[in-house]
Chain A
Amino acid sequence: MAEPSAPESKHKSSLNSSPWSGLMALGNSRHGHHGPGAQCAHKAAGGAAPKPAPAGLSGGLSQPAGWQSLLSFTILFLAWLAGFSSRLFAVIRFESIIHEFDPWFNYRSTHHLASHGFYEFLNWFDERAWYPLGRIVGGTVYPGLMITAGLIHWILNTLNITVHIRDVCVFLAPTFSGLTSISTFLLTRELWNQGAGLLAACFIAIVPGYISRSVAGSFDNEGIAIFALQFTYYLWVKSVKTGSVFWTMCCCLSYFYMVSAWGGYVFIINLIPLHVFVLLLMQRYSKRVYIAYSTFYIVGLILSMQIPFVGFQPIRTSEHMAAAGVFALLQAYAFLQYLRDRLTKQEFQTLFFLGVSLAAGAVFLSVIYLTYTVALYAISAVYFAGVMVRLMLTLTPVVCMLSAIAFSNVFEHYLGDDMKRENPPVEDSSDEDDKRNPGNLYDKAGKVRKHVTEQEKTEEGLGPNIKSIVTMLMLMLLMMFAVHCTWVTSNAYSSPSVVLASYNHDGTRNILDDFREAYFWLRQNTDEHARVMSWWDYGYQIAGMANRTTLVDNNTWNNSHIALVGKAMSSNETAAYKIMRSLDVDYVLVIFGGVIGYSGDDINKFLWMVRIAEGEHPKDIRESDYFTPQGEFRVDKAGSPTLLNCLMYKMSYYRFGEMQLDFRTPPGFDRTRNAEIGNKDIKFKHLEEAFTSEHWLVRIYKVKAPDNRVTLDHKPRVTNIFPKQKYLSKKTAKRKRGYIKNKLVFKKGKKISKKTV
């Protein structure tokens, strides 16, 4: 392994060089390779250099390297443990369940992977989502998360540790948080020193910005992506420092894992070229940078295109162009350096100007095209980073490292000064009268000592009082930070959001498990191929927990389909029924929070449904129809009649008008909107109520098949407006009698022959 080259790299060499070698020795102990640091350790122990270190346990513990590596190992292990435990609040308070919405899709995909195998997952076409369109799952997900969970599940089951796939998914993120702190430690140690590394590891284990996306149960891409991010950066720094292709290949493999795990890999593919560019600007070009970046770019590009979802994006989209640009620039720069060594100054200058003018023409054209896009992208990125709290996640590791470096510096300054001046034998400085005695280092030159002591007296105040005060303050700050992190995690980020909990005045807890109650009703009481229509928020949960085909889900890739559902929800029952019949819908699901005061229900989201529907069907749906003439959105009697007759309203408030929640409010009082509903007498023609959960949170309606005979709901039309006329015979007096043809005529007086009697 190549020695890390000190002069050109940016990292500060620390006075703790021995633990570096200690940990390098830890990694290389089998090879027996020792850097100069090991010798320093021996010197520091007081033994002469050529004498080998004393064997035996006591000898090992007397060396600082032993203590330091043991301490580092213990601290990292405790950081992992702290990070893991801190994320378990939701599991302890509720149960081991997948949270929120997106993780349910990830869980369902992982379940499919675990049950059907790897290639079935990669080629999976899901016909139970986005009915009747279906979804090509293999080509529209980042598979890293599912593959990681599936692999761990497979390994454990092969070892006969029979863990269910759900438990693997729930506890994956806390496990990877421990790995993240270790990789942050490695990265910060490369950038600064080991003390800062350990602090950074501890910070990132408990910092809320990262915890919010990686609690137990939040089975989402960010849980593993941050680990991949830090590890890739560490390997990149290592490869730039050593210039070896081995480290660069490791970095590429880690980058491949990152690309498979998260869409945020674009962050890496822009930051690493930026780093190379800044190195070029700072005149720190060297062969190592060239080797590292060229290898990384090419191999990383090829590997990243192996993910089906990424495909050809790295050579088409503008987000990846920075990497390509820096690659070209680096090749040109390296070529120029090569020429400079070969040609004379004159030749070099002519060639240089010729090349530059050729390149300038090409660059000018492309830059004009790209500038607008790039500038806009940068501005919008800053804007979104300010707006979307979720993107705080990418800022978190950087902040952890920087604060760790700051703390490490402060501690070194205020604790380290004592150690620098006190050579062994270690003195207890509190016994000294003159506390600012510089120590043995300056004893030899007497005059210098006086100078130094005078200087010490005039120096601002690095007396032990100040030192201990500052140290104490810093420690208190750190402890308060830890308390704050735990408190925030416990209160803000530990709700599974599938299960709601409310607390009474005396502290007892009411669990509202309506969602799961309804989903399991669906699972057990409906046909396996039944189709459920709901708003897209609940699609993943329905697919995951109820295992039924859904029309739209959280992927929101098809806006027209969502607009159709929105139109169905916003129209009156007959028009909605037409749409539902054309989509083959069997059940409709709505969330209604009026009984318990839940504010995230569908009536509160209703205006979004209207807007999305209006976007696709502007002639049929108009948003202004749903407001009162004064422009308010009201659900009581003063509400607009379109709203009071639309399907969503009817489904939410069916039979609610008979319900009186408490004696002070009238029946049909909606607790969320604080209004008495306007339309209490709701009747359905084409739907019937199938299920309402315990607190009326989830309501499921069955779509009835069309009648055999369409009955009229009004009296049949009377067509004979004019009364029937009496029939007047046209026969005259003469012609009144009709006659019978061939009638037998009797003649009186004549005897009839005996034969005919």
Chain B
Amino acid sequence: MEFEALSRYTSPVNPAVFPHLTVVLLATGLFFTACFLVYEVTSTASTRDIYKELLIALVASLFMGFGVLFPLLWVSIYV
């Protein structure tokens, strides 16, 4: 049905860098998660700043999200 006209799917990210991306993104994500955790534990009601919380949470979740995607792709769970 036009299978010949279709081109083979290639990944936008070179599969050879999956391991490196995994390590970097996951490490950064975990680092920011840890920062968020420590901030929550050691701050009191008066010193807590909602914008700071949101900022750290946003950065952490971004990095963690991609940091979970690339390990999955690396072990060939093609989500």
Contact = CB atoms under 8 A, between A and B. Distances in A.
Given A57-B35, A70-B34, A70-B37, A52 B46 contact: yes
Contacts of B43: 53, 55, 60
Contacts of A29: 40-41
B13 interface: no
A52 B44 contact: yes
Determine which residue in B35, B38, B39, B52 has the highest number of CB atoms from chain A within 10 A of its CB, and name it. B38
A55 B37 contact: no
Give chain B's interface secondary structure class: helix
B59 to A, nearest CB: 12
A639 interface: no
Give chain A's interface secondary structure class: helix
Interface string A57-98: 101110101110110011000000000000000000000000
A69 B49 contact: no
Contacts of B44: 32, 34, 38, 52-53
Interface string A453-470: 000000000000000000
Interface residues of B, number: 15
Interface in B18-38: 34-35, 37-38
Determine which residue in A22, A57, A59, A69 has the highest number of CB atoms from chain B within 10 A of its CB, and name it. A57
Contacts of A23: 41
Given A69-B37, A70-B37, A53 B42 contact: yes
B40 A70 contact: no
Contacts of B41: 22-23, 25-26, 29, 60, 65-66, 69-70
Contacts of B38: 57, 60-61, 66-67, 69-70
Interface string A653-689: 0000000000000000000000000000000000000
Contacts of A67: 38
Determine which residue in A23, A29, A74 has the highest number of CB atoms from chain B within 10 A of its CB, and name it. A29
B17 interface: no
Nearest to A24: B41
Interface in A28-68: 29, 32, 34, 38, 41, 52-53, 55, 57, 59-61, 63, 65-67
A61 B35 CA distance: 8
A74 B30 CA distance: 10
Contacts of A59: 42
Given A32-B44, A52-B44, A52-B47, A57 B37 contact: no
A73 B45 contact: no
B52 to A, nearest CB: 8
A71 to B, nearest CB: 10
A26 B34 CA distance: 13
A60 B45 contact: no
Contact of B42 (A66, A73, A74): A66
A163 B79 CA distance: 13
B54 to A, nearest CB: 15
A73 B34 CA distance: 9
B48 to A, nearest CB: 8
B41 to A, nearest CB: 4
B75 to A, nearest CB: 13
Determine which residue in A26, A38, A59, A66 has the highest number of CB atoms from chain B within 10 A of its CB, and name it. A66
A26 B40 contact: yes
Contact of B47 (A41, A53, A65, A70): A53
16 contacts: A26-B40, A29-B41, A32-B45, A34-B44, A52-B44, A53-B42, A55-B43, A55-B47, A55-B49, A60-B35, A60-B42, A63-B42, A66-B38, A66-B42, A69-B37, A69-B38
Closest 8 CB pairs of A and B: A32-B45, A66-B38, A60-B42, A66-B42, A69-B41, A60-B38, A55-B47, A63-B42
